[in-house]
Homo-oligomer: A and B are copies of this chain.
Amino acid sequence: MTLKEKILEASRELFNTEGVKKVTVRDICNQLKISPGSFSYHFPDKDKKEKIVTSLYKMMLGEIMELVAAIPRDDASVIYFLESHKQLFIVQKKYKFFYLNLFDILNSHAEIKAIYLQNIQMERQMAKQLLELYVQKGVLKAGIEARQFERLVNVGQMLNNSWAIDAELHPQRTGKEQFIYYMNICCGLLEPYLTEPSLAEYQAYFEALEAQPMNY
């Protein structure tokens, strides 16, 4: 790991535990036992913290895309949808500081806001296409109205962006229990629309999750 990577990693962990606002460049240096000079060599700009937050945001998006792209795309099964959410949840938790203060971070980082708004448009398009395909392939019931699709996609996105705050407010759920709870909350939106065979796949997936050991 290069020093630049170590700085980003330490910043991410400090942001997650202390919140972006409280963490100073000095805190990050102390954590890594490096001098402010070494730090500035890697982040020479004036707005060092802003640059780090923006780099971390881009890293997060990159990780999500990479992990989701690696899932075998089987359009005739709900498993792709579930596996995508699983990867999304794992990465979102890793960068949870971003979601805990979404509104403030977007409003104080113009570059992140621009990418974020573009990204949620793209996600929405992709989600809509997947759901339409799922109707064609018999994963979802036929006859779901266009406005229902629209609502499902938008609700799903709102839940993806807000589950991290809900998780912090309910510290009694931790680890795998927390993970399965929010997978259920978000993916469960599809449940009433699944056809019988897909519902069976869906339930088997969650039973397998329950049975697996998992670090989360």
Which residues of B are found within 8 Å of A116, using beta-carbon distances? 169
A117 within 8 A of B: yes
Main secondary structure of the interface of A (DSSP, over half): helix
- Category for how many chain A residues contact B: 20 to 34
Interface residues of A (CB under 8 A from B): 19, 100-104, 106, 116-117, 120, 147-148, 151, 154-155, 158-159, 161-163, 165-166, 168-169, 184-185, 188-189, 191-193
| Cα distance, A70 to B166, chains bound together (Å) | 30
Which residues of B are found within 8 Å of A19, using beta-carbon distances? 104
| Cα distance, A23 to B145, chains bound together (Å) | 45
| Cα distance, A184 to B165, chains bound together (Å) | 23
A-B contacts, 20 listed (Cβ < 8 Å): A19-B104, A101-B104, A102-B165, A103-B165, A103-B168, A104-B104, A106-B169, A120-B169, A147-B184, A148-B188, A155-B185, A158-B158, A158-B159, A158-B163, A158-B185, A159-B159, A161-B162, A161-B166, A162-B162, A162-B165
